Amino acid sequence: MKFNPILESFEEYKPSNTYINDGFIDLSKNENPFDLSLDLKKIFFQKITETNINRYPELTADNIRQKIATFLNSYFSRYNIDLDMNNIVVGNGSDETISYLVKIFSGKDVIICPPTFEMYEFYSVLNGFSVKKIPLNTNYEIKDIDKAVDDQTSMIFICSPNNPTGNLQPQKEILKALKTGVPVIVDEAYADFSKISMIQHLKDYPNLIILKTFSKAFGLAGIRAGILIANEEIVKQIMKIKSPYSFNVLTEKMVETIIENYNLILEKIDYIIEERNKLSKELGRVALKSDANFILLDFDKIEGITAKAVYNYFLENKMLLRRYSGTLENKIRVTVGTKEENQKFLALFKELTSNYDNRSRLTNVKKQ
């Protein structure tokens, strides 16, 4: 028995060794802090009672794809887009749609802009691509990535707002990349928290592909529903290789419930944006600008304190944050939670930094 040698460069997924119990607050996964209301769950349950679970879902999920297209036309009415199901691919999270994209385009290289979402590189390498890394600039923005495109370039991945830095990428730079004609995948998983989208440019650029998810702003992380939006030819090619019956009826009915009642979700999005802005203001210079539902904290801006110490301090106080390695080793990502969770986070943060300030002053006194 022989395994694909590519797998030698991959590590096995391992769950976190941090046990999250009822006393913990988890601000590490960029989840929406609000579960669906009981009223929405009742609508979902009613749909399920009217569904034959013993039957397979639709072969190519045409019904929900059309409903999503209609929803997007309404949601982005200011852009006057005109989508139908032939512009939509659904998947178990947007990750699944990435796994199809790396199979349909020719070329040898994939361009990514680190630090960014790891799954672009994961699926690219898994499918035999070389990954050309064009790092974000000091403001964590893309810059002149169009100059990295050559005849071997298969596609470009851009995350906007970017995970893990949280900032929108400059539209003029994305447009420069699109003008190369190479497929440009813009991952807008967090775009609902910025109220800005590249979807307005779909008609002008047939090489533009947009990824979205119901996991973040719409609070369906446990459902795993992602969508890809593109021109009909790209969708047609993906549908050739997409597994049949792959979008299950439970996910379909939950997405249907949300898009039929999305106005109830909009106020939660505004709540999270307001809380994010409050958090950023309170955190001051340590908080990087965010257009998402999380904030990246830079502890290079506070003398004498490390991200490792911050992470452990919060862990001791039953709050889980997200740590990084490599170029982001001294950064921490914190998800925007409920008002109460954010207040607890700020109280712990101020307590920790105050302790370090006191130690620093004491050290300076001794030196004098």
- Residue 35, pLDDT > 80, answer yes
Q: Against a cut of 0.85, is the pTM above it?
A: yes
Q: What is the pLDDT of residues 195-227, one digit of tens each?
A: 999 999 999 999 999 999 999 999 999 999 999
What pLDDT does residue 19 have? 59
Averaged pLDDT of the chain = 93
- Residue 356, pLDDT > 80, answer no
What pLDDT does residue 16 have? 60
- Residue 21, pLDDT > 90, answer no
pLDDT band at residue 30 using 50, 70 and 90 as cut-offs? very high
Supply the Cα-derived Rg of the chain in whole angstroms.
22
What pLDDT does residue 5 have? 87
pLDDT band at residue 302 using 50, 70 and 90 as cut-offs? confident
Domains in the chain, please, with CATH?
A: 23-33+264-366 (3.90.1150.10), 38-261 (3.40.640.10)
- Residue 280, pLDDT > 50, answer yes
Where is pLDDT greater, at 23 or 253? 253
- Residue 357, pLDDT > 50, answer yes
Distance CA 368, CA 360 (A): 13
Kindly provide the b/e burial profile for residues 225-244, where b requires at least 16 CB atoms within 10 angstroms of the residue's own CB. bbbbbbbeebbebbeeebee
Instruction: Give percent of the chain with pLDDT exceeding 90.
Output: 87
Task: Tell me the C-alpha to C-alpha distance, in Å, between residue 219 and each of 108, 122, 223, 235.
Answer: 37, 25, 9, 26
What pLDDT does residue 353 have? 87
What pLDDT does residue 367 have? 47
- Residue 364, pLDDT > 70, answer no
Task: Tell me the C-alpha to C-alpha distance, in Å, between residue 48 and each of 36, 59, 225, 248, 328.
Answer: 16, 19, 17, 12, 44
Q: What is the pLDDT of residues 87-130, one digit of tens each?
A: 999 999 999 999 999 999 999 999 999 999 999 999 999 999 99
pLDDT band at residue 361 using 50, 70 and 90 as cut-offs? very low
Q: Which residues, at least 6 apart from 169, have a Cβ–Cβ distance to it below 8 Å?
A: 141, 142, 158, 159, 160, 161, 162
Task: Supply φ then ψ for residue 207, to 5 degrees.
Answer: -95, 5
Give the mean pLDDT of 160-176: 98
- Residue 18, pLDDT > 60, answer no
Distance CA 218, CA 253 (A): 14
